Amino acid sequence: MNYFNETQSTFKNIFQRFKKRDFSGNTGQAMKNSSYQLAQNLIIKISSFLFTIVVARLLMPELMGLYTLALSTIIMFSILSDFGIGSALFVFVAKLTSKGKDAEAKGYVKKLLKWKVYLLIFASVILLILSYFVSEIFYQKPIFYALLVGAIYLPILGFLEFLEIIFHAVGNFKHPLIKEIILQLLKLSFIPLAIFLLLKTTLSVKIIIALIFCVLIFCSLITLLIFWILAKKKISFLSIQAKDLNLKKVKGLKKFILPLTVTILSGIFFGYIDTIMLGRFVEAQFIAYYGVAFALISSAISILSFASSPLFSTFSKLEGPVLEKMFKKSRNLISLISISAGTLTYFLAYYIIKLAYGSAYLTAVPLLKWFALLIIILPINSLYTTYFFVQKRTAIMAKIIILTTIINIVLNFLFISYGLRFGMFEAVLGVCFASIISRFVYFGCFVWFRKRE
């Protein structure tokens, strides 16, 4: 009863604040930033949803499966360029700029950017070296040229993410929103047009998929240039002289990042092992069925997790009872919304797939129904992740992600092996179950560790 009373009170308070345009205090700042983050998430996911619909309908399941597999592989390698740098950038810059220590914050940005560049080069080179083996031997699918092009895409993606984290760390959620509008408009304008023209040619599948990624690079590069200009104008501390970090602070930074490195590496497999393993064992169209269902769920989860990033900045400034109160209010609000969204998705799965992708993708309906369970827990889990990061409990996070990654890999292998006895779709369904089980374990671990505090 207390849960519903508190949630109702929170809703009323938020409504009254928006009505009066009262964004004072920690709650008000969180509301303001959450509004920008929600707008950005809505633009990302609505645009991505429209983009996926158009691309899926143009390419049809087989080519869509190849595009999804190539993109997932490239993004997996892009995470090799993080190693916890993004999280460290957010935490240290947010804390220092909130205390007026801009020169020191610039020092952390300078150091982390240097490490980021090294890692981006490393990730791109590794992708280039492994492209042939991954595409021709492991997957046995025609995405070799796409992976080569992906090595150019990785640095652009990395710098876009780095700049966005700096904006968020200083509490600026408006300009990342502008950046996202530009990127999504470019993608929606150029990529479908390119696909339409490419499909009219006699080019091979390898070339077509690679050229699609070339257009994606063009859109991302234009966005990066505009975003960099905005950063120089709007983030004041970037224009001042940096205070170089002493040896003690560099060691402290490495100590903070080290557990996250293990977490990120494990997270690579946790986030993408499903598609990677499917790429090995099933035909391209079945990857497409899994991909479109998971894309819908990811869009919903991203929108429902709108509060997590803004609360990162807010949580980092709070401690003790005030932090606990803010966390519980946020958790109750997100839980209520997530449960409603998950239930709605389950009952409307058939109509969502048919309306979005057409009859060619109706095979994905059972997958979407099962994935509706993730809508209930993952937005809440995003909040727990934010809380643990702010508390700098990265060692516990590393243990959780390693455990659940191992569970996910084992379950994927077992369920795919068993499912293939009946057919390729059954193998895909097995991967769906493995994803759900491992993510419930992931969520349960966070809840358990927090209750032990």
Task: Give 197-243 as a DSSP string.
Answer: HHTTS---HHHHHHHHHHHHHHHHHHHHHHHHHHHHHH-GGGGSPP-
Which residues are CB-contacts of 251 (< 8 A; sequence separation ≥ 6)?
A: none
The answer to whether residue 1 is domain-embedded is no
The answer to whether residue 180 is domain-embedded is yes
User: Closest Cα partner for 206 from 67, 338, 5?
Assistant: 67
Amino acid in the structure at residue 142:
P
Question: How far apart, in Å, are the Cα atoms of 63 and each of 58, 151, 241?
Answer: 9, 21, 50
- pLDDT of 217: 96
Q: Which residues of the chain have pLDDT under 50?
A: 1-8, 10-11, 14, 23, 26, 312
User: What domain range includes position 20?
Assistant: 8-451
User: Closest Cα partner for 306 from 438, 185, 405, 176?
Assistant: 176
- pLDDT of 20: 55
The answer to whether residue 3 is domain-embedded is no
- pLDDT of 194: 96
The answer to whether residue 304 is domain-embedded is yes
Q: Buried (b) or exposed (e) across 158-194, using 16+ Cβ within 10 A? A: bbbbbbbbbbbbbbbbbbbbebbbebbebbbeebbeb
| Tally of domains within the chain | 1
The answer to whether residue 374 is domain-embedded is yes
The answer to whether residue 2 is domain-embedded is no
The answer to whether residue 47 is domain-embedded is yes
- pLDDT of 391: 65
The answer to whether residue 156 is domain-embedded is yes
Phi, psi at 98, each rounded to 5°: -70, -20
- pLDDT of 1: 46
